[in-house]
Structure 1
Amino acid sequence: MAGPKGKKQQKRGVDFKKIKRKIGKKLPPAKNATNTEIKSKAIILPEQSVASEKAGLAVNKRGLTLKELLQQTSHYSSKVRKEALLGIKDLFKKYPEELRLHKYAVIEKLRERIGDDDDRVARETLHELFKSVIHADCKEDNQELFVSLMMPYIFNAMTHLAIDVRLMAFTFLELVIQYHPPSFFLYAEKILQSFEDILRRNQFYLEDKKKLKTALAGLGQCLSLLPCNKREVSSLEKNDAGQRMLHAFEPDLPAKSAGCSVIIPKLKDLVPVLVNCFQDFIPEVQRGSLLDQQSFDCMLSILHSINLAVKFFFYMTDEGKLESRPSQEGLDVTMLTISMTLLKKLLVLFPLNMTNQLSEKDDVEYFGLNAELTEIFLYLSKWICPPAILLEKVLEFLENSLLRKICPDTRIGKALEKREKWKKREKKEKQERQEKQLKHLISLLPFVPKLVSQVPDDWKSRLLQAFTEAFKDCNHVSPLKLACLSIMEEMLVPRQDVVYLDPSVPEIFDFQIAWIRELPMLLILMGDKNPSCSQVVLHLLLRLGQRSLMNSSFAWEYDNMQFSLQPFFSNQNDGDSPFVKLPRDSQELSLCCLLYFSHLDSLLLKSIADCCLCPHLEHHVLFRIIEVLHSSYKSGHIQIADHISFLITLLSSFSVFPGTSDKKEFIESDVNISKESDVIILNRKALKSLTRIVQSCLSEMGDNSLVFQMLEKVILEQMSQIPPLDNLCAMLRMLITLDSKATIISQQAFISLGNILPWYLIDIVHCTAEEDKMVPGSICSSACCYYLTPCFVLFDKSHELLNVVLKTLGSWITKSSLACLTPDQTRYTTEISSKVDAVVSVLQLMHKDNKIWQIISSFKAEIDCILESIIVLQSSKEISMTIEERHMVQCALGRLRTLHSGMQSV
């Protein structure tokens, strides 16, 4: 039933009200949502920023510390790793102390990246970091510890599946061995095995020869460390490269080098692998194709490695004396096997050439390959008997190499013509090709002596002729000249009873004489420009001199050599002689060569004397020259007259004043007084030492009276020229040395000494007076005794000589004596007042010696004459003198009267 119409229906409650929302409009938060917003003020504390935390720490340009950079080297991104390595390099260059403090920690961390297989650039960056920064700083540190840290990771990378990682490991190995060569012998077995493994996988380098070149470079460096002479072989056992290894880091490291016992079998396996690698290039050569530079480099590296291995075996069997090496028979069997392999697969290809026209560059490259093959063949000839046709080819190649017929456009050591027409790049390439050819040619020279002694006579002459032309043709600064000198010594002076050339054969002797005659000219030409080569020449000359004692043919040629050596000792163009410019050890070799001349000519002695008087010659060298020449004199190689003349020349011409012999010129020059005075004092000491040495030599020459008769005339002639004070004193001392027992001076000598000694005494007075003026060349009054002693000895022996000197001094005061003075006798002054003062000063010096003054007292008439001459001079009106000059004369007169009064009381 329906309800009443007027009653309204009751509304129901709504739980959720649907709200229409616009699309994209953000919903408001729910009414019951919790407000999680926190509002607070910022709290600022000091030292909380990242930059402030690194204050005072070493950082790179990106603001990263060493610790952060090392952590980034392990990042998954190769780019980050690379940037970290560059950052470490930048930090170490900016802060070197960081590397020194954390060196080994850095190495321990960075070595992990050697086998990085993700990025080649990162590996190369790591290699550059080690090469340019870390290795350079580790030179003086514990190298063994560094090696122990690096080698396990390098070997691990060598077994990596990726070929690029393996090759990069060999590059790191090359770097380690370069900075610490003994490390090769510690790990020789593993290293050689790794090289063998990588070279057997030839599929990679046939496509990319650059990879093969990388591996061969490291192998060549390792094999170059193998001993190849007796000294190196015997020292190998003593060189315990691992004795200071810190094994706490790597417990599995070898404690001691295994020596050559493990190297020999490994090399035996490695050589055939290298031969197979080389044969892979042969088809391309035989087709006449033009090879690229990388192919040439790889072929040359392979042959060079084979050559080093063969050379090692050769010296192990020929000279090596290792207790740990295999038996001689075992080595011979090994080498016989290797020799047959090389002969069948390698040497049969000699010489390598192309049928088409070669460029100069390719010509030089093929020359290098053939030179290596030639060297291998000559070493192997000890174990195999090569076919005659192969031997003929080798000899022709060697002859043509010496005569430069292989690369005629690149003559070694000669100035390149028309350089101005070439571009800079072409010049550089030309020079590099010449250096390559020169290097290969020098490697062949050591075989010349033995070949000459073994080949038939026709080839003997051809090889000697080619060698002689090569020696004469190359420039004196070329390394080829030095190499030829070394080989020449073997053929001129045999060692250990091994005679390569018999000088009794006229043709051979002619070549030997031609070589000997080239040596003096070469020595003069080189001088001090190439000291090492000059020393080799001098050593060879010394050996020739020693052999000349046993070979009359060489003795005659050696004696004639002294005429060519004169320019070597004499000063050239007012400059120092080549002898003076050489190092001390080379000078000693030069002097030792003089001992083997059977007769020293006077012209050579004159040149040597000229050299002795050079101001730049060290004094101990001068004394050594005298010692050598005096020894030659006692051996009968120098005539007594020549020897005396040499000694007198030294005493009379030795200059105390550096750079000039004119005292006045030197005194007036603008010089540093104290410095020049020190030089003069040193020179005076040297002259005094020289005088003593000459006196000792004269006393050993025989009877003093006979020696005196021989030198009296010569020495008086030198003294009559009034030389400087020190030289005159030296010659006077030479006289009194020979006149020590009895007076043997002739009448003519008395006359000469009577004219010389007055000027000598005046010199002493003036040099003593100059001391107060601080003039270079002055002598202190206490040193006057050294200069006066020769005069006083002569006066004591001959009172007549003293009388002559007093009369000469008195005659100088008279007015007429001034007109008689020669230019040489006016070296100080011509003022009469100065002469009066000097004469009186001489008498005062004599007064200080009681014995001489007692002798003078017997010549009162001469002293009275001097006194009266001064009095007359003082009162004379004909001679005009200034007030100062008259005062000087008055003072001198007073001093003389005092002496005169003392004489009367005697």
Structure 2
Amino acid sequence: MSCSFELSLCKLFVEIHCEVLVLRYKSNLQSLKLSVLKEEALELGGLVMVEKILQWPGKMTRSKANSKKQPGIDFKKIRRKIGRKLPPPKNTTNTEIKSKAIVLPEQSVAAEKTGLAVNKKGLTLKELLQQTSHHNPKVRRDALMGIKDLFTRHPAEQKSHKYAAVEKLRERIGDDDKVVRKSLYDLFKVVILPCCKEDNQELIVSLLMPYIFNAMTHLSVDVRMMAFDFLDLILEFYPPSFSPSYAEKIFLNYEDILRRNQYYLQDKGKLKDALSGLVRCLSLLPWNKGETHLHNKDDTRQRVLHAFEVDMPMNSNGFSYIIKNLKDLVPALINSFLEFIPLIHSMESLEGKSFGCMASILHCIDLIVRSIAYGTDKKSESQSSLGGPDVAIWDVTISSVLLKKLFPLFPLNPADHLSARDCGRLLDLNMVIAKIFFELNEWTCLPPNLLEKFLEFFENALLGKFFWATQSAKAVWEEHLIQLLPFIPKFVSRGAGYWTSRLLQAFTLTFRESKPGSMLKLACVSAIEDMLTYIESMLSIETSNPENLNLQDALLAWIEDLPLLLIQLGDKHPASSQAVLRLQLHIGQCALLNSILVCMYDNMQQSLQDFYCTCQEGGEQICYGPFLSLPRESQELSLCSLYYFSHLDQPILKSIAHCCLSDDLDSCVLFRIIEILHSAYRDGHIKIADYLSVFITLVLRFKVSPEFGSSGLKSDPLRQTLKSMTTVLCSYIAQMGDNGLVLQMIEKVIIDQIPQKPSLDNSCSLLRMLVTVDSKPTRLSEQSISTLGHHLSEYLMDAVQCIPEDDEQGTPSVQLGIQHYYLLPCFFLFDRCHKVMNLVLKKMGSAIYDSSLLLKSDKCSQHIRNCLNKVNAVTSVLLLMHKEAKLQQIMSLFKENIDNIVEEVISLQSSGKISMKIEEHEIKCALERLQILTR
């Protein structure tokens, strides 16, 4: 030993003995200071000083001579209890200041909280957050309950301090007390996260995720499992929080849980909750967003319509690098699943939590297989070197473990002691295993004997040969069958031998027997649409092949059911109706290139009439179909489907025309119908007579209000619609070809309607159509001219009587333009046929004369008013005609008729039959206005 070490040891020994001496003798050691003694002993450094201390004179007992204070003694040792505060030195100055307290009432604790939000116990948010870190678990629990109560009472307080509260509360995610963690979970689920859903989600997630990951590595199993519950809660409220930066850590922690599953088999409920969270995480991967949880009813419709998309991005949103983590999860999941297999045979019934764990495990495997299938670039993998360490050929790593451990268990046959409910649960598991197998079969070649076993199971599932005791079990069967149906088009397109016809027959039975509004029916429609392109291509090659005959029979059965299905769906299932209409349109588009499909498609017309409109005997009672009540997009699909019929018959055109006349039909849809019918006629799908008949029906029966608003045509949408529709129809008629031939076809129909006195607007539309195809000189027959000359006078007088000429200011108004709109078709006829004008002028004079004859027998006020109205109407018509330069020249040819009208008015004035001053004034004004015509 070195000298320095010996010296240190001696010094330590001296210090120990000095302390022992002080405690033993408890005296002043006479006039020698202990501190001096210690220092001297240390300086001498050895046992010599110890001997000096031991040889000290006397026995260290207090003598009488020393009872008084001896001069030269530095201090007196006072015995004090350990832990008691030492008194201050005698020479210390007392700086204590004493004063009386001033107590004010408003300085109480309650007054300090005035204006602050408190819970029912009077605690503020700051106090409650401080108590969440208390060492007593009961205090922490009460603090969390107090925060929940405070936020419920004062929502504004939560909104103002939510981020600060989250920052403090996150510390309790890894709390040792189970009740504290559960209270925190409920607080986040019920109060905090719903409030923050519309705010900065990234900040909330960034605050919570580190503490959740920390809790996942906690030594306590309960804390670790609860951490997965918190993660699932975050993903439930903020699905975008599952980002690539968190995904790898999440899957690594799940893998650790699964590899240590023997610790959690005693509490299957916790394992089930953790697996449900893993299902949610896998569902949020970009390749699985079309898929949702099996029991999620809200998004099932979208899952059916958009599941199994083949055009998916290979590397989506940075998630491609986690493929390896997903592959590592599969063996752990399968091993966990195998742990439950003995329970099926040992238990009297399949326990609910065990079944839940098994179902979640299989669902996770299914989602992982989909993710690897659509998230891995197969070409790059196959072209990579086989010996590289980073080569990830998924069908080797995944399919091998599935073929060795999972698929040999299929099907999970129920034991004799299992109940019907347990059999339904096993069927549920078998359906998921089958889905995994068929998904895997898309990317790798599986053993043929194994494929046969799964196809036979698929056929039995389609035929409904499995037994389910309850409706809930049947609903679960339908949900799984929905996810298996997209594989049928893939088997059919591959030509799976005799299995093709067997699967098609079973599928057709499922399609026909499923309920119209069910998701199973919708999935069948989607599968038919997927098969349609392949079937159309096969039918176009040859028809003698037995496989093609099977395809043809199946397609014919499907097409026959579509119209009835549309009527059964009605307007209660708009999404299903839209899918059926999309399929119908697709069939029509394929029919253009295939003669077999043309016949199938055309046969739909008769049963499709009720979808638009049904007319009872006589045509008086009309029953509208679902078409009018469907959304605009569905209506568009239905109308586009009409174009692809090789010929549109009269019955369906009649139904469509009645829909056009309905008040519930939007004007945009009306014009769209007219456009599609014109396109169908132009391409030879409608006969010209039927085409013109539809147009005449529309302008003749379109209903408008008989009264005019102050702003004219624009004030009445229906009147404006009829005007615009007539303009479009006249444009289409003018494009049909030879106007003379068209006139011959519509002349008699229109002329026969004029004597029946349609409304002013409908008569105007008919005259506009007639004028569109007429020419100068007119091509109208003598009978038509006579009929027009007899009835146009009443039409003209009605037009000027319904619409006032000027507004209150006496300036030219909108009404004058409206009068010109209604009178213009007649002016064209007058210009093209002078005989029509001659007949009209004669009829006007006769109308005034007949009115005056009624006054001879009965001078009632009503007859007088009618007579004056006719005089004013004739006067207005003649003046409006006189304003037109062409008509003014023609009127000069019939001056005799005009003079006759003036004479009739003068005769009425001088007859004395009108005696009231107001009425005499009207007659006088009419004569003054007519003077311009007699010059």
TM-score, length basis structure 2: 0.79
Q: How does 1:83-482 map to 2 (within 5 A)?
A: 83-118=142-177, 120-184=178-242, 185-228=244-287, 239=317, 257=318, 259-261=319-321, 263-287=322-346, 289-317=348-376, 333-356=393-416, 358-382=418-442, 386=446, 389-407=449-467, 430=471, 432-454=472-494, 457-482=497-522
The Cα RMSD (Å) is 3.6
Q: 1:499 to 1:391 in 2, by over 3 A?
A: farther
Q: How far 1:357 sits from its partner (Å)?
A: 5.9
Q: How far 1:233 sits from its partner (Å)?
A: 8.5
Q: 1:800 to 1:381 in 2, by over 3 A?
A: closer
Partner of 1:5: none
3-state secondary structure, aligned to 1:114? helix
Would the aligned equivalents of 1:73 and 1:81 in 2 still touch at CA under 8 Å?
yes
Q: 1:110 to 1:321 in 2, by over 3 A?
A: farther
Aligned residue identity for 1:165: V
Would the aligned equivalents of 2:420 and 2:468 in 1 still touch at CA under 8 Å?
no
Q: 1:379 to 1:356 in 2, by over 3 A?
A: same
Q: How does 1:683-832 map to 2 (within 5 A)?
A: 683-769=718-804, 780-815=815-850, 831-832=866-867
Q: How far 1:143 sits from its partner (Å)?
A: 2.4
Partner of 1:859: 894
Q: How far 1:206 sits from its partner (Å)?
A: 2.2
Q: 1:882 to 1:206 in 2, by over 3 A?
A: farther
Would the aligned equivalents of 1:571 and 1:577 in 2 still touch at CA under 8 Å?
yes
Would the aligned equivalents of 2:525 and 2:580 in 1 still touch at CA under 8 Å?
yes
Q: Distance in 2 between matches of 1:530 and 1:501?
A: 37
* Offset from partner CA, 1:380-416 (integer Å, 9 cap, x none): 3356655555433322321222122213555xxxxxx
Q: How far 1:63 sits from its partner (Å)?
A: 2.5
Q: How does 1:304-703 map to 2 (within 5 A)?
A: 304-317=363-376, 333-356=393-416, 358-382=418-442, 386=446, 389-407=449-467, 430=471, 432-454=472-494, 457-494=497-534, 505-570=548-613, 574=622, 576-657=624-705, 663=706, 681-703=716-738
Partner of 2:933: 903
**Bigger CA radius of gyration:** 2
Q: Distance in 1 between matches of 2:537 and 2:864?
A: 72
3-state secondary structure, aligned to 2:848? coil
* Offset from partner CA, 1:59-109 (integer Å, 9 cap, x none): 233322222221111112222222222222233333333333323222211
Q: How far 1:831 sits from its partner (Å)?
A: 4.3
Q: Percent identity?
A: 52
Would the aligned equivalents of 1:867 and 1:896 in 2 still touch at CA under 8 Å?
no
Q: Distance in 2 between matches of 1:648 and 1:812?
A: 30
Partner of 1:4: none
Would the aligned equivalents of 2:421 and 2:468 in 1 still touch at CA under 8 Å?
no
Q: Distance in 2 between matches of 1:359 and 1:311?
A: 33
Q: Distance in 1 between matches of 2:716 and 2:208?
A: 61
Q: 1:408 to 1:810 in 2, by over 3 A?
A: farther
3-state secondary structure, aligned to 1:291? coil
TM-score, length basis structure 1: 0.81
Would the aligned equivalents of 1:840 and 1:892 in 2 still touch at CA under 8 Å?
no
Aligned residue identity for 1:439: E
Q: How far 1:57 sits from its partner (Å)?
A: 2.3
Q: Which residue, out of 104, 112, 131, partners 1:45?
A: 104
Would the aligned equivalents of 2:712 and 2:818 in 1 still touch at CA under 8 Å?
no
Q: 1:533 to 1:438 in 2, by over 3 A?
A: same
Moved more, 447-456 or 301-310: 447-456
Aligned residue identity for 2:506: A
Q: How far 1:344 sits from its partner (Å)?
A: 2.1
Would the aligned equivalents of 2:536 and 2:590 in 1 still touch at CA under 8 Å?
no
Aligned residue identity for 2:164: A
Aligned residue identity for 2:190: S
Q: Distance in 2 between matches of 1:337 and 1:437?
A: 30
Q: 1:285 to 1:537 in 2, by over 3 A?
A: same
3-state secondary structure, aligned to 2:485? helix
Would the aligned equivalents of 1:771 and 1:780 in 2 still touch at CA under 8 Å?
yes
3-state secondary structure, aligned to 2:894? helix
Q: Distance in 1 between matches of 2:798 and 2:792?
A: 10
3-state secondary structure, aligned to 1:351? coil
Q: Distance in 1 between matches of 2:434 and 2:540?
A: 21
Q: Distance in 2 between matches of 1:519 and 1:508?
A: 17
Aligned residue identity for 1:793: F
Q: Which residue, out of 924, 928, 931, partners 1:894?
A: 924
Would the aligned equivalents of 1:491 and 1:499 in 2 still touch at CA under 8 Å?
no
Aligned residue identity for 1:356: D
Q: 1:89 to 1:321 in 2, by over 3 A?
A: farther
3-state secondary structure, aligned to 2:107? coil
3-state secondary structure, aligned to 2:610? helix
Partner of 1:78: 137
Q: How far 1:439 sits from its partner (Å)?
A: 1.2
Would the aligned equivalents of 1:568 and 1:577 in 2 still touch at CA under 8 Å?
yes
3-state secondary structure, aligned to 1:125? helix
Would the aligned equivalents of 2:313 and 2:375 in 1 still touch at CA under 8 Å?
no
Q: 1:470 to 1:500 in 2, by over 3 A?
A: farther
Aligned residue identity for 1:179: F
Q: Distance in 1 between matches of 2:197 and 2:379?
A: 31
3-state secondary structure, aligned to 1:187? helix
* Offset from partner CA, 1:416-473 (integer Å, 9 cap, x none): xxxxxxxxxxxxxx4x433322211111111122234557544322211111111111
Q: Distance in 2 between matches of 1:280 and 1:876?
A: 117
3-state secondary structure, aligned to 1:598? coil
Q: 1:382 to 1:493 in 2, by over 3 A?
A: closer
**Paired residues, what number?**
799
Q: Distance in 2 between matches of 1:501 and 1:370?
A: 39
Q: Distance in 2 between matches of 1:506 and 1:830?
A: 79
Q: Distance in 2 between matches of 1:213 and 1:714?
A: 77
- 5+ long unaligned stretches in structure 2: 1-96, 289-307, 616-620, 855-861
Q: How far 1:560 sits from its partner (Å)?
A: 2.0
Q: 1:373 to 1:533 in 2, by over 3 A?
A: same
3-state secondary structure, aligned to 1:599? coil
Aligned residue identity for 1:160: H
3-state secondary structure, aligned to 2:478? helix
Moved more, 273-282 or 595-604: 595-604
Would the aligned equivalents of 2:486 and 2:527 in 1 still touch at CA under 8 Å?
yes
Would the aligned equivalents of 2:350 and 2:418 in 1 still touch at CA under 8 Å?
no
Would the aligned equivalents of 1:260 and 1:325 in 2 still touch at CA under 8 Å?
no
Q: Distance in 2 between matches of 1:515 and 1:899?
A: 74
